[in-house]
Amino acid sequence: MIKVIDLFAGVGGIRLGFEQAFNDVHCVFTSEIDKFAVQTYQANFGDEVVHGDITKIATKDIPSHDILLAGFPCQPFSQAGLKKGFNDTRGTLFFDIERILLEKRNTLSSVTCTRFWRSSKS
């Protein structure tokens, strides 16, 4: 069994891709703050618990997992946004991914954003 956590889950597209691509994927933790995305996520995956703001969740409260899935907000790094990078609060959510990866150590990650995030001037 491959255990995943789904951060900034939106409606669950990244998770769905992993479930379709790999056998025996089990999501052990989900975090999303948008109430409408949560409603759609739960419609897509059943009434699973969807935790809220990842910045307020202690790493010790996140279950052990094999892969961290994250579709964190791209606007701070994209052409469509103001390109404030890490100076935009949404851009700092990347550091919550880092916090979890560093503490859990045995985790792989699949982080999705835009092709422009590497070239951000932040």
Residues 97, 92: Cα–Cα separation, whole Å = 10
Active site includes 27? no
Residues 84, 32: Cα–Cα separation, whole Å = 22
Helix (H, G, I), strand (E, B) or coil at 69: strand
Residues 32, 37: Cα–Cα separation, whole Å = 7
The one catalytic residue among 25, 74, 93, 100: 74
Q: Which of the residues are catalytic?
A: 74
